[in-house]
Structure 1
Amino acid sequence: MKIAQIAPLAERVPPKLYGGTERIVSYLTEEFVRDGHDVTLFASGDSMTSAKLVACSDVALRLNPAVQDPIPHQVLMLEEVRQRAHEFDVLHFHVDVLHFPIIRDFAARTVTTLHGRLDLADLQPFYRAFPDIPLVSISDSQRQPMPPVNWRGTVYHGLPISLLPFTEKPQNPYLAFLGRISPEKRPDRAIEIALRTGLPLKIAAKVDKIDETYWLNVIKPLIMSNQNVEFIGEIAEHEKPDFLGNASALLFPIDWPEPFGLAMIEAMACGTPTLAFRCGSAPEVVDDGISGILVDSMSQAVASIGEVIGLDRRKVRATFEQRFTVQRMAMDYLDIYRSLPDSNAHWAAE
């Protein structure tokens, strides 16, 4: 099958540091290449892939200080995709909404995975205007705020099975927080859990410009005033096995409709259980009592720390292997590709 993967330009594929969407695009692209498909990746020029790379910017836009407005760069990429659309059996978009008007003539050969939150009021009239575009959700809970649209399926994220090795016995264990410093991710809850349980906490997270005030006024003072809380900052992929594998548990104390939560399955791959608040996708990702513990309040979170740390790490890893590998993700997407009304006709015509 001739497959086009269209990635965001904000980060390279795969990203050097933070960037969940670009990381998933990379895993999926490489798996399709391994399976013998003819894959073309539209992404930033510094991306690393075994597929055919169409460089749509010199480097990732977030890393280019000369870029003031990302939209012109993204529109140029979409024009390149439009001009070459006839070359592909399926075009898989991971770029939110800008492409919707452009793909109307060949929408039946496309899939758009929605990677972000869908409960924002601005999105409702938009999706009502495009009910025909084939969409994929990354959790069932992500769909809840949406008007009637053309859902083709839900595909949970997956990781290469050997990407993050299993760690049976963590060295110098601690609680871990991985992701972004933002109000909805609730690192303040993670800090409070650590303080109330007396356990050390390590925070590996990036701070976006939009969250700098929250970081400076709320989170940084909490960290500076507590010696058992360590802020590591943004970490790269090669640092995750040590950071997650040596943790007793991952804290996922979210307070928003999380579409998926990649950190939970990254921890799971290492055998590290997750303590998650029952929001968004967490109940779909965490098998309560097996790969983690779900809670509804801070008091429950504090009371459940011993239980989550005591979970069998081999069963945590086994759950990852059963549910969240890149092989399963790729098969799920192939089933969706083949179900598209125009993809099979286009494929057969080649």
Structure 2
Amino acid sequence: MKIAQIAPLFESVPPRLYGGTERVVHYLTEELVRQGHKVTLFASGDSITSAELVPCATQALRLDPDVRDSIPHQMLLLDKVRERAGEFDVLHFHVDYLHFPLFRTQAGRTVTTLHGRQDLSDHMPFYAHFPEMPLVSISNAQRAPLPRANFVATVYHGLPLDLHKPTFQPAGGYLAFLGRISPEKRPDRAIEIARAAGLPLKIAAKVDNADEAYFRDTIAPLLDGPGVEFIGEINESEKTAFLGNAAALLFPIDWPEPFGLVMIEAMACGTPVLAFRGGSVAEIIEVGITGRIVESVEEAVQAVPNLLALDRRAIRARFEERFSARRMAGDYLRLYQKMLRKRAASERHLASLAEYAIASAHPRPDTAIQTEPN
């Protein structure tokens, strides 16, 4: 199968540091190539891939000091895809909905995975205007605010099984917070939980420009107290040790989480997850097996002893069963094949209608209606 994967340009594929969407695109692309498909990746020029790379920006936009406005770069990306669209069986977009106006006439060969939150009121009229565009959600909770959107599947993210080696006897004795410093991720809750539970906390997180004031005014003052270490952004190779040596991952979100890649990264390391209920959490965490789900800081503190007693081998086993890149690619391939069958059936139907129209307009002499002479 000939497949185009269209990635955002903000980070490389895979990202050097933080970047969930581009990381998932990388895992999917590599697994599809491994399974023998011809894959073309439209991404930033500093991406690393086994697929054919079509560079659509010199480097990741977030890391390019000369980039002031991302929109021209994204438009160039979409135009490069448009120029080569006819080469592919499937165009798989990961750029939200930027491509809808340009590709709506080719909707039958596109699929769009939505990676962000969808509960914003601005989204609803937009999706209603483009009902022909097939959408994939990354959790069932993500699609709930858009009951009339054209969702054709839910596909959970997956990781390569050899990406993170599990640690069954962690040496760190700390709780971990990994991701992004922002109000919706609630690192302040993580600090409060760790201190109340009497355990050290290590925070490995990036601070976006939009969140610098939140970090400076809300989080930085909390770091001055005991037991909290702020590490900053870490890369993929550093995650295994960081998560593997943690006693548990804290995921104290305060928003409708679309998926939460860090939860399955922790599971891959055998590390249990303590998460606040919201969005996808109840779909990803199996209570009593891979973690605990709570609704308050007090409940979280009380849950810590039982959380730390969970079987790390069982956590890794459930990760392998539910969240491998192979399973993710298989889910997408079944969707691609379904799209191809539907498109082929539609083309056959249109061809038969065309043949009928031609035959009706130009009947053969032997089938023409003969009239009797008067």
Give the TM-score normalised by structure 2.
0.91
Structure 1 unaligned spans of 5+: none
Q: How many residues of Structure 1 are paired with residues of Structure 2 in the alignment?
A: 347
AA matched with 1:261: G
The residue aligned with 2:322 is 323
SS at match of 2:253: coil
Q: Which has the higher contact order (CA 8 A, sep 6+)?
A: 1
AA matched with 1:112: T
Cα distance in structure 2, aligned partners of 1:85 and 1:282: 36
Is 1:280 aligned to 2:279, yes or no?
yes
Is 1:197 aligned to 2:197, yes or no?
yes
AA matched with 1:218: T
SS at match of 2:102: coil
AA matched with 1:143: R
The residue aligned with 1:212 is 212
Give 1:296 deviation, angstroms.
1.3
Moved over 6 A (4+): none
Check whether the contact 2:108–2:343 (CA below 8 A) recurs between aligned residues: no
Aligned residue runs from structure 1 range 100-139, under 5 A: 100-139=100-139
AA matched with 2:238: E
SS at match of 1:166: coil
The residue aligned with 1:151 is 151
Cα distance in structure 2, aligned partners of 1:299 and 1:72: 48
AA matched with 1:277: F
SS at match of 1:153: strand
The residue aligned with 2:228 is 229
AA matched with 1:82: R
Is 1:70 aligned to 2:70, yes or no?
yes
Give 1:124 deviation, angstroms.
1.2
Cα distance in structure 1, aligned partners of 2:145 and 2:162: 36
Give 1:344 deviation, angstroms.
5.8
Task: After superposition, give the CA deviation of every residue in 1:157-211 in whole Å (9 maximum; x if it has no partner).
Answer: 0000010001010113200000000000000000000111110000000000111
Is 1:339 aligned to 2:335, yes or no?
no
Aligned residue runs from structure 1 range 1-350, under 5 A: 1-224=1-224, 226-340=225-339, 345=344
Check whether the contact 1:8–1:95 (CA below 8 A) recurs between aligned residues: yes
Check whether the contact 2:5–2:39 (CA below 8 A) recurs between aligned residues: yes
Check whether the contact 1:338–1:344 (CA below 8 A) recurs between aligned residues: no
Give 1:343 deviation, angstroms.
7.1
Check whether the contact 2:4–2:42 (CA below 8 A) recurs between aligned residues: yes
Cα distance in structure 2, aligned partners of 1:214 and 1:106: 43
Cα distance in structure 1, aligned partners of 2:342 and 2:74: 25
Cα distance in structure 2, aligned partners of 1:213 and 1:121: 26
Cα distance in structure 2, aligned partners of 1:147 and 1:123: 12
Cα distance in structure 2, aligned partners of 1:38 and 1:195: 51
Check whether the contact 1:133–1:150 (CA below 8 A) recurs between aligned residues: yes
Task: After superposition, give the CA deviation of every residue in 1:243-277 in whole Å (9 maximum; x if it has no partner).
Answer: 00000000000010000000000000000000001
Task: After superposition, give the CA deviation of every residue in 1:4-41 in whole Å (9 maximum; x if it has no partner).
Answer: 00000000000000000000000000000000000000
SS at match of 1:338: helix
**More displaced stretch, 125-134 vs 37-46:** 125-134
Rg larger in structure? 2
Cα distance in structure 1, aligned partners of 2:54 and 2:246: 39
Give 1:227 deviation, angstroms.
2.0
Task: After superposition, give the CA deviation of every residue in 1:300-328 in whole Å (9 maximum; x if it has no partner).
Answer: 10100011111000000001000000000
Give 1:86 deviation, angstroms.
0.3
Check whether the contact 2:89–2:340 (CA below 8 A) recurs between aligned residues: no
The residue aligned with 2:360 is none
Give 1:142 deviation, angstroms.
0.3
Give the TM-score normalised by structure 1.
0.97
